Every structure is written in C-alpha cells, then in structure tokens.
Chains A and B, each alone.
Chain A
Amino acid sequence: MVSLSDYLILSSVIFCIGLVGIFINRTNIITLLMCVELILAAVNTNFIAFSHFLGNEAGQIFVFFILTVAAAEVAIGLAILTLLFRVRGSIDVDVTNSLKG
C-alpha cells in the first residue's frame, strides 16, 4: 500500500522542481507559470494525501478551490502575458526590465 510519506515525498519533489524551475529559469515566462502550477500540484497532492489519510474531506475541498483559483490565475496570467506581448513583442523574462530604480 502507498503510505502517506510516499505522497509527501512525491509532493515535496514536485514542489522543489517547481521552485528550482522558477529560480533557474531566466528565459520564458510561460515556463515560470508552469513552475507555479507545479507548486500548486504539489500542494494539491499534499492536501489530498493528508485528507485521505486523515479521513477528513476538508483537504479535498481545499484542493477544489485551489484548482479554481489556479485556473483563474492562469486566465489572468495569460491575459497579462498577451498584453505584454503586445506592448513588448516578446514574452521573455529579459524584456521585463523597464522598471528600475
């Protein structure tokens, strides 16, 4: 049987991949977004695993909402990306450098 810690290890691995991806990715914003999604996936795994092993649905409900919010986030994120593409002609991380102090 799959144990709780297996899930937790899996989720933490996903989480770390997401996090590392964010920090080493210096080129593409879409990749950034995908890394964020990875983090959320890790969180969801966590919640569901806990929920399952605790016998408590709150975690699953939470996941439901996280998914929704993630979707809304993606919607807005893509919209912003589109805008950025329009004003900049590119969606590389490098182009977001006009704001400096």
Chain B
Amino acid sequence: MELWQSFVGLVYESIPWLDGNIAAIIIILVKAVALIMPLLLTVAYFTYAERKVIGYMQLRIGPNRVGPKGWLQPIADALKLMTKEIIFPSKANIYLFLLAPILAIAPAIAVWAVIPFDEGIYVTNLDVSLLYVLAIGSIGVYGIILAGWASNSKYPLLGALRSASLLVSYEIVIGFALVTVVMIAGSVNLNTIVADQQGGMLNWYFIPLFPMMIIFFISALVETNRAPFDVVEGESEIVGGTHVEYSGMTFAVFFLAEYANMILMAVLAVVMFFGGWHSPFEGVPYLEAVFAWVPGIIWLLAKSTFFMFLYLWVRATFPRFRYDQIMRLSWKVFLPMTIVWIFVVALMTQLHIGPWFA
C-alpha cells in the first residue's frame, strides 16, 4: 500500500503539467495493466490447466510438446490464432459481426474494476458494485446474440438463441441468489460484503446460504457455457453454436471472454460466499497465528483457484445435460428455491438467528 501511495505521489510530482484528471487516468491505467495482464496470463494458463487436468483425470498426459511439459502451449496457441485468417462470411453483417466479440469481452474485463482483492485493494470502490457486476455481466448476452445474428447462418443463430435463453434464465436465478447475500450483508458493495464475512469460516455466507451457494455455482457454470451445460456450443449438435463462423482472432476473443468470465465467476463465488480475502483460519486458535502473515489477496486467489479447479473437475465428470433439462432446472427448481430462500433468510433476519443475523 505504501508503495502504491509513493508511486502515485511520484507520478504527480514528476509530471507537473498533468492536471488531476489525466493523472488519475494514468493511475487507473497502471492499475488496469497490473490487473489485466495477470488476468490474461491466468486465462492462458487456465486453458493449459484445463487440458492438463482433464488429461490426467482421463489418464492421459495432455499437452506436453511445446516447451517443457507443454508449458509454452498457450503461447503457441495464441500465436497460431493470431496468424490465422479472419473469415468474413459473405452473408454476414460485418459491423455487427465484429462488434459481437468486442461486446463479449468488454464486460468480462470491465467487471474487474470493482472486485476487491484485499482490504483496500481494488481499482474502485463503488457503493453499488454488486449491481454493477450484474449489470455489466448481462451485457455479455448481447455479444452472443449479435454473433449468432450477424453471422447470418443457421447454426450460430440456433446457438445464440439457446445461449441467450439460458443466460437470461440463469441470470434471474443468480440475481435472486445474490439477493440473499445482500440481505445478510445489508449492502451491495462488494467490499462491505466481504468485510461482513469477517471472523472465521463460520461467518462466511455459504453456511446460511448453502443452497444459494450451490445454485450460484451451478448457474455460474451455465452462464459461462461450461460443461455439463455447454449446449450452446454443443459440438455434436450445432457444431460450435455461436462461434461457427468465427475464425482466428475473432474466435480467440470469444474464447478469451469465456475464460475471463469463468475466472470472474470463481472470484465472485469466493467474494460472495467464501469470505473473499479473509483467511479461513480466523478465529481458529492456533492456526490463525500461523497463517497471519498470508496476505488476503493470496487467500482470495487460493479459494478462487479451488473453484476454477472445480470447473474442470465438473467438466471431466458429468455428461452433458439436455437443453430442456437445463431450462427446467432454472425455472422449476432454482427459481422457486431462491424465492423460498429469500423468505427463509428474511425470517431468519427477523428472528435474529445465528451469528449471521445478529
């Protein structure tokens, strides 16, 4: 933190002709770079991890040719995608066609502006950060719809429709699930929500909101088109869905967005339900002291990593759901459940149950 402050001071001093706004923008840019670069790196190596992990789960090795143990595989993939031809389908609406990937990735990156990594470490602290997350998150649908529409081809359109209905269905569920979080925290500021979970694992929200946590996690899988809910791509049915007509970097951008979203969802799950930057050992007599040195951000990343791993695990484990099953799950199972749970939480609040509703 001190380092940061001095850096800011340095910027202001060294470039005296800057007025406040530009300086602020520069500072933000620096922050952004500090945030996005690791993010991209994570994405890159998440793909690698995915192939590796699933490979091991299926008793194979996974990528192992490029670099030692295949470490350079993501780099190679990126280079390959970069040098591929970008095909513009003849019937496509070029502008929308190109706008679609941009709309897909922009929210995936913009959301990160409000994510709290540790106490006081964030790009910006909005009072309505959770609403911001939800709002920006739902823009992603446009990318998919536009992609399907602009391609002017059957499979993308089908994929887009499916995807859009799935996304919106689960968005409602996520919305309701997060309502319960807000009810306990009494705030829609992510920082406050995390801060409210202070005091050991028992105070994390996943305990009173266990069903909601499950629902959130499953919905996150759907929202990111992950297996077993990846009917949108559904290679065997609609040969890749929305992305059929995309090639080269246009496709890569979608890809990037998808993985960035996955990471985001993992982080959100941690922030919402697993105490964010708080150490799991808070309040535990001995361990607390032992792990006191670990910065909050590490805890956050560690927990997130677990969830990211969970994604891969789930993918390797479950067969794909049918489309109607997924829809039914959201409307007929999750939605009633969340509404009921809202009542439950409200009642618990009014009756002051447990440590969470004091």
Q: Do chains A and B touch in the complex (CB under 8 A)?
A: no
Interface positions of A (Cβ within 8 A of B): none
